[in-house]
Amino acid sequence: MSKPVVLIAEELSPATVEALGPDFEIRNCNGADRAELLPAIADVDAVLVRSATQIDAEALAAATRLKIVARAGVGLDNVDVKAATQAGVMVVNAPTSNIVSAAELAVALMLAAARHVSPAHAALRNGEWKRSKYTGIELYEKTAGIVGLGRIGVLVAQRLSAFGMNVIAYDPYVQAGRAAQMGVRMVSLEELLAEADFMSVHLPKTPETVGLIGAEQLKAAKSSLVLVNAARGGIVDEAALYDALKTGEIAAAGLDVFAKEPCTDSPLFELENVVATPHLGASTDEAQEKAGIAVAKSVRLALSGELVPDAVNVQGGVIAEDVRPGIPLTEKLGRIFTSLAGEVAQSIDVEVRGEITEFDVKVLELAALKGVFADIVEEQVSYVNAPLLAAERGTAVRLVTDPESPDHRNLITIRGTLADGTQFSVSGTLVGINQRERLVEVNGFLVDLEPTDHLAFFRYEDRPGMVGTVGQILGDAGVNIAGMQVARDAKGGKALVALSVDSAVPGDVLEQIRSAIDAETVRGVDLTE
């Protein structure tokens, strides 16, 4: 078989090609040259670009085999995502590649504005020694207001906390409890403007955020405010900002982004209390390398039919950070479900409860199906073909969400109806700061067990001596028990022993246990790949 063809249309870091590996035919072209791009893209499976290559409807029409467009960076201004979606072409970017670089630049602009670095440097180059004119202010014990507590906003908050600042934030989509864990107090925008000595903007540019910081907001701020915008141009009204800086309504500003870019001629550049850079947030060697590696990994996943977490238009879009830890847990629950049920369910409900339901959790339905079918079909199961496998087998699938979760912060349950009409379920959750996976329910029996590579389950009539018998047989077989849970529905009723073991339990040992305790069901589960 010929290798999939990947076209690199702009200069990317050498690490990008290394991350792609030897499984692809790599081609190169100058994507900024349309006459070169259009024929080059005609027969490729993937194209990697930065910002100079326009992947528009014309380019997509020319690319008859194209499956994925990968932008080695955050923005997608040069990719027609709608046209790509209509053509069935996945679009990915590298949304976290530049977050550290962007956060560090925001802090740099804040420090530079507070200490008049730019005009002091210019004066010195002009042969002037003006120490008294450029007396600055400290960040220590001042109040920093973060407008937008997303990934970059959090990183800025952490760094400013290290300076000894009191950090407050405005973000209507972040819960106060989550911010409090980071030592950040959530406030309204009005409160932030009234309290902040320094303000850093970290919001996406949307119709709702354009002009969010305008003349009215700047009038409400302290006259000593230092404002930084290293997010997106237009969120801060530049005309209003100029007036506020010129009249002394606020003290200084640090800017990396502008409403129209490239921007080389702005009244703001005339002011000594402005320090400005030409959109350098992502312009570090490390960010460029991270971006290249990230999109190379996405290309590998896409061309192998796997879930692509950074897809923006296919397979449910970008996956929220709060949802991602639940993906491997849900896949394991699917595998445990099928192993214990012993058959393919006629219908499956993937129930997601708790805080994560405020995000798009559609990916957890895919993860559950991947797990359900992983061990029962010959072909490789992916997030792409798992729903097709369910449809082929007549399995109806439904995603159920509920923000209420009485016993756990978040709970994921796979509940299925079997051919005879009986229901079967397994549930899991993530606990602690490290998000440790726990199996917490098996068909109505409450347990608390880590879903390790090897598990075993025994259901029997509750009576004395059964647990000891199971342990004795496993010990004689050289199978070490790592964890054990015993549950029952009532005294003398049905009981369940759930075990995590260091090695797989041989089939003959399972049968020996079945006979010894007269078990109704005996199952071994192997979660290794």
Pick the CATH number of 452-524 from 2.60.40.420, 3.30.70.20, 2.60.40.180, 3.30.70.260: 3.30.70.260
Contact 106, 85 (CB under 8 A): no
State the catalytic residue, choosing from 279, 300, 353, 454.
Answer: 279
Confidence label for 1 from pLDDT (cuts 50, 70 and 90): low
The set of long-range contacts for 341-346, using a CB threshold of 8 Å and a minimum separation of 24, is: 341/416, 341/418, 341/424, 342/523, 343/418, 343/419, 344/372, 344/373, 344/376, 344/393, 344/395, 345/372, 345/395, 345/416, 345/417, 345/418, 345/424, 346/394, 346/395, 346/396, 346/416, 346/417, 346/418, 346/419
261 catalytic? Reply is yes
Q: Cα 344–348–353 angle (5° rounding)?
A: 140
Going 358 to 359 to 360 to 363, the CA torsion angle's sign is negative
Confidence label for 173 from pLDDT (cuts 50, 70 and 90): low
351 catalytic? Reply is no
Tell whether the model's pLDDT for residue 213 goes beyond 50.
Answer: yes
In DSSP notation, 282-337 reads: T-SHHHHHHHHHHHHHHHHHHHTT---TTBSSSTTSSPPTTTTTHHHHHHHHHHHH
State the catalytic residue, choosing from 261, 343, 450, 520.
Answer: 261
Reference 452, options 521, 374, 504; nearest CA is: 504
408 catalytic? Reply is no
CA distance 375 to 361: 24
pLDDT at 344: 82
Tell whether the model's pLDDT for residue 316 goes beyond 60.
Answer: no
Output DSSP code: residue 236.
B
| Cβ-based neighbour number of residue 236 at 10 Å | 29
Radius of gyration of the chain from Cα atoms?
Answer: 29
pLDDT at 104: 98
pLDDT digits (tens, 9 = 90+) for 410-468: 999 999 998 789 999 999 999 988 899 999 999 999 999 999 999 999 999 999 999 99
Lowest-confidence range among 89-98, 413-422, 432-441, 504-513?
A: 89-98
CA distance 523 to 341: 9
Q: Give the pairing type, strands 396-402 and 274-276.
A: unpaired
Q: What is the mean pLDDT of the chain?
A: 91
pLDDT at 349: 97
pTM of the model: 0.63
Backbone angles phi, psi at 100, to 5 degrees: -65, -45
What percent of the chain is predicted at pLDDT more than 70?
96
Output 67 or 316, whichever has higher pLDDT: 67
Q: Give the pairing type, strands 25-28 and 5-8.
A: parallel
Look at residue 272 and give its three-state secondary structure. Answer: coil
Backbone angles phi, psi at 40, to 5 degrees: -70, -30
In DSSP notation, 430-493 reads: EETTTTEEEEEEETTEEEEE---SEEEEEEEE--TTHHHHHHHHHHHTTPPEEEEEEEESSTTS
The mean per-residue pLDDT over the stretch 196-206 comes to: 90
CA distance 331 to 313: 23
Reference 137, options 232, 226, 204; nearest CA is: 226
Q: Give the pairing type, strands 46-49 and 25-28.
A: unpaired
Tell whether the model's pLDDT for residue 528 goes beyond 90.
Answer: no
Pick the CATH number of 99-276 from 2.60.40.10, 3.30.70.330, 3.40.50.720, 1.10.1040.10: 3.40.50.720
Classify domain 5-94+286-303 at the CATH superfamily level. Answer: NAD(P)-binding Rossmann-like Domain (3.40.50.720)
What percent of the chain is predicted at pLDDT more than 90?
71
Output 131 or 312, whichever has higher pLDDT: 131
Query: What residue segments make up the domains of the chain, in order of their start?
Result: 5-94+286-303, 99-276, 319-451, 452-524
Tell whether the model's pLDDT for residue 46 goes beyond 80.
Answer: yes
The reply to whether 5-94+286-303 and 99-276 are identical in fold is yes
**Fold annotation for 319-451:** 60s Ribosomal Protein L30; Chain: A; (3.30.1330)
pLDDT digits (tens, 9 = 90+) for 282-297: 899 999 999 999 999 9
Confidence label for 181 from pLDDT (cuts 50, 70 and 90): confident
Buried b (16+ CB within 10 A) or exposed e, 175-210: eeeebeeeebebbebeebbebbbbbbbbbeeeeebb
Backbone angles phi, psi at 59, to 5 degrees: -65, -40
| Cβ-based neighbour number of residue 151 at 10 Å | 16
User: Any residues with CB less than 8 A from the CB of 319 and at least 6 apart, and which?
Assistant: 309, 327, 360, 363
